[in-house]
Structure 1
Amino acid sequence: MPAIVVPAGHVALVLLEEGASSFYLEIPMDKIISLCLKPRKYLLFLGTCVLGVPGRLARVRGGPRINTDEVDLDERGIYYYVAAGGIVPAAAIDPDVIKVTTNSEVSSEPGTCSPSFRNQLEERDFGCLWSALRGEFVQGSEWFRLIVESRPCHDEDVKTLDDVDDVRNGFLGNHLLYSVFEPREVVVLKTPNRILTTDDVPPRHHRALSENVEYPPDGSRFTLQWLVDPGKAVMETNTAPNNCDAAFRKCTIGTGSAVKPKPSDLLLHYNYGAAVVKNWGKNIDVLRKCTEPPRPSNLVVGPSETKHRCGTTTRKRAPARSSGGDRDGRPTADTGMLAESEGEPEWDEDDVMLFFLVNTPAARERFRKQDEENTQRMERWREDVPQGPV
């Protein structure tokens, strides 16, 4: 197998191996240290966010679990996320097939939302959760139900999370954050979660709170984290510093009739996974090749569209990015890593997340049951059709 060449100051986290190639994250060590006090646990958390299934961290392929409480990482080291139950690339479900058989759940134009949804956010969030500025809404959308049904919910009750305008599927952020959530330069880390405790995250950036808001009294944290270096406007105004925690309207947290649910852990972790794939993903083409050749030749994928998200994927098809990187010249996950056939669309981070979303054990079982129900329905229909010559 060709060796993964890890540049200085980075580590690699291998998420899936197929033949002689690997899909992995190439992560700056200084970025890990700025986001988590337990670097190994952070790698384990990333693997869970991207693949959507529990697993262990190892130093060799399929190897034993390593101690994630230790804080050291080997520069240029290669780590492996070993998923429980595994992903079976040879039988991988094509995300584009799912796209044309799953109805879009959002009809509003980008930057709009239903009045009731907006009102719920303003009642709970008061303003931007991470600053004293006015808040713009950020909402999830398109594959909402597929995500909720396929991702492990752990301790979160998502049985009633069935409406895209649910207050758990959005939050308010200031105008600067509004512009960087969509390109996934900044994310929200909810702790405690199944991997990380609140103490594993650096202490919150101190800010003065207005009399109307407070941090959750149960000690949970919704921490704003930059996966790229903040822009000049953010640095100069200090309106969205790294590791700043969300504060909510006082009457909506704790107990009482005015309490409102907070942003969904499941959706936030999904979006965290998509963001790290975009910024640090390598060899995405390994995944796309796993879905060939079952894609129908007449498959038509819907038009490209973008909407603001909390934790769900919205962009279906993005035009190929230039090799120069993003709008600020920073390298992206696509830079120099895809070798697509002429005329075939590139996969972006949303395609990667959808690939794993529909290939988890839970999703496979759901699709198996759907196929079984469809077969039984067809058999019943055949039994009801009159036999013999017409």
Structure 2
Amino acid sequence: MMSSSPDSPPPGHVWLFLESSPDDPDALFLEIPLERIQKLCLKPCKYLRFLAYAILALDGAIVHSPSTLLADDAPLEDRGIYIFHYSMEITAQDLAKRRADVEVVWQRIRDGGSESSCLNSFADPIMARDAVSLFNSTSKLFTQVMHIVAHARGTPWLLHLIAMRRDFEDGEGVQDLSDIDDPRNGFCGEVRLHPLLDQNICGVLKTPNHILDMNDVPPAPSRSLNSASYPSDVRYTLQYLDDDPAFETDYMPNNTDAAFKPYHDPLLRPSAFLLHYRYGASALVKWGKGLERRIPPSRPAKATSSFDRSVTTDPKVRDERAKQRNLRKDERHDKPGVPKDNPSWTNRAVFEVYDPLDVVKMISPWYDPDIDETFDLDTEEYSQRGGPRDSFADIEEWRNTL
């Protein structure tokens, strides 16, 4: 068992190991309250499979440690230890090799955001679609349009994410998305909802999805709909990942379903791809363990490379940039004790330094150096053109280079 962790989950909890077995000292796992799982999904084992999919974008099955394969409708045991076995043929070592370069992600956190203001072209179609507030009936005065992936991230960051997870949720809601202010990257909610989402207290689950069906989620509580209605073919469900009952008492009940205006365009509904990427990030914040052993502390900015950053397709320059990224990885690998021997670098500290959306990128098995290089070139062009207003005039050209 892990030297730095107890031999079993605390009472009322389960462990879900995402990439390796419980005897791996660097294992990444979730420690989840069993009662919370049962409140979020009628098939708890299937919900574990959804969490693993949302975080890793991998299909697989749930095994009760050490080797019992479980069906989706199998119950979970108190203090049970479960392992996600991915379907594809890939080892934990291969996953580690494909993991994104932390320095690259960190550089994008600092430099990839857009400074332009939110446009009416973003807010207007959402207000027309969402009946003022998706999850409760309230005055327009107390509602706001909010992004799923923050506007400050900028279009380059969002397109890079989509390129990394091409098949996640079958690309639902992002297949032709080309702008951070696309209405599928947002929804309208009561003003108190925004901080709850930002603090990863809750998430929005769309069903049916790649793993879960509509009837896998507990029935929604009844509420006033006014002029809105529930879609018959989908559910967008607000779920609390936090156990504090005050959120349900003070705001709205768990598993409240979204209602839309009649005759809205179904193709413009909030993107399942983006909602579930964010759901997985929130799950890591609330329940993740072992991230401090996967993600080293960020190195000083002065340690980043200073070679020519001009826009070019010169293979020599591309090779040099790849070498610089590999060098940064090698430097970290030469100091394996840094994260483990640093008592201040904890799981909590990871999220104090990095945004949860970036943490999911850092542990992603879908890191592709070609996409990484393309993004670098694109970001350089983005900067040279002066920012978001003039960038991405030809998004298809950008995508065709991937």
TM-score by length of structure 2 reads 0.70
Q: Give CA-to-partner distance per residue, 1:84-107, whole Å, 9 cap, x none.
A: 344522563323323426862522
* Alignment map for 1:1-390 (pairs within 5 Å): 1-2=1-2, 4-17=7-20, 19-60=24-65, 63=67, 65-70=69-74, 72-83=75-86, 84-86=88-90, 88-90=95-97, 92-100=99-107, 104-108=112-116, 113-133=118-138, 134=140, 135-139=143-147, 140-141=149-150, 142=153, 143-151=157-165, 152-155=167-170, 156=172, 158-210=174-226, 212-218=227-233, 220-229=234-243, 232=246, 234-236=248-250, 239-253=251-265, 261-289=268-296, 298-299=303-304, 340=342, 346-348=349-351, 349-357=356-364, 359-360=365-366, 363-364=367-368, 366-367=370-371, 370=374
Larger CA deviation: 143-152 vs 197-206: 143-152
Distance change (3 Å), C-alpha of 1:292 and 1:106? closer
1:310 corresponds in structure 2 to: none
Whichever residue aligns with residue 12 of structure 1, its letter is W
Distance change (3 Å), C-alpha of 1:115 and 1:24? same
Structure with the higher fraction of residues in helix conformation: 2
Shift of 1:59: 2.2
Q: Give CA-to-partner distance per residue, 1:18-67, whole Å, 9 cap, x none.
A: 95231110000010010000000000000001112222211246x57421
Gaps of 5+ in 2: 306-338, 379-402
SS at match of 2:58: coil
Asked if 2 retains the 8 angstrom alpha-carbon contact of 1:6 and 1:76, the reply is: yes
Mapped partners of 1:278, 1:26: distance in 2: 11
Distance change (3 Å), C-alpha of 1:137 and 1:339? farther
Distance change (3 Å), C-alpha of 1:92 and 1:297? farther
Distance change (3 Å), C-alpha of 1:178 and 1:367? closer
Mapped partners of 2:208, 2:217: distance in 1: 10
Aligned-CA RMSD value: 3.2
Whichever residue aligns with residue 246 of structure 1, its letter is A
Q: Give CA-to-partner distance per residue, 1:96-145, whole Å, 9 cap, x none.
A: 3234268625224xxx6211111111111121101011321211232311
Mapped partners of 2:372, 2:242: distance in 1: 40
Asked if 1 retains the 8 angstrom alpha-carbon contact of 2:241 and 2:286, the reply is: yes
Asked if 2 retains the 8 angstrom alpha-carbon contact of 1:283 and 1:338, the reply is: no
Mapped partners of 1:368, 1:175: distance in 2: 36
Mapped partners of 1:296, 1:130: distance in 2: 42
Asked if 2 retains the 8 angstrom alpha-carbon contact of 1:186 and 1:224, the reply is: yes
Q: What is the number of equivalent residue pairs in this alignment? A: 318
Gaps of 5+ in 1: 254-258, 301-336, 375-390
What fraction of aligned residue pairs are identical, expressed as a percent? 31
Mapped partners of 1:277, 1:205: distance in 2: 27
Q: Give CA-to-partner distance per residue, 1:172-217, whole Å, 9 cap, x none.
A: 111221221110101101000111101100011111211x211113
Whichever residue aligns with residue 249 of structure 1, its letter is K
Distance change (3 Å), C-alpha of 1:138 and 1:369? closer
Asked if 2 retains the 8 angstrom alpha-carbon contact of 1:121 and 1:172, the reply is: yes
Whichever residue aligns with residue 261 of structure 2, its letter is R
Distance change (3 Å), C-alpha of 1:231 and 1:35? closer
Mapped partners of 1:241, 1:228: distance in 2: 13
SS at match of 1:252: coil
TM-score by length of structure 1 reads 0.72
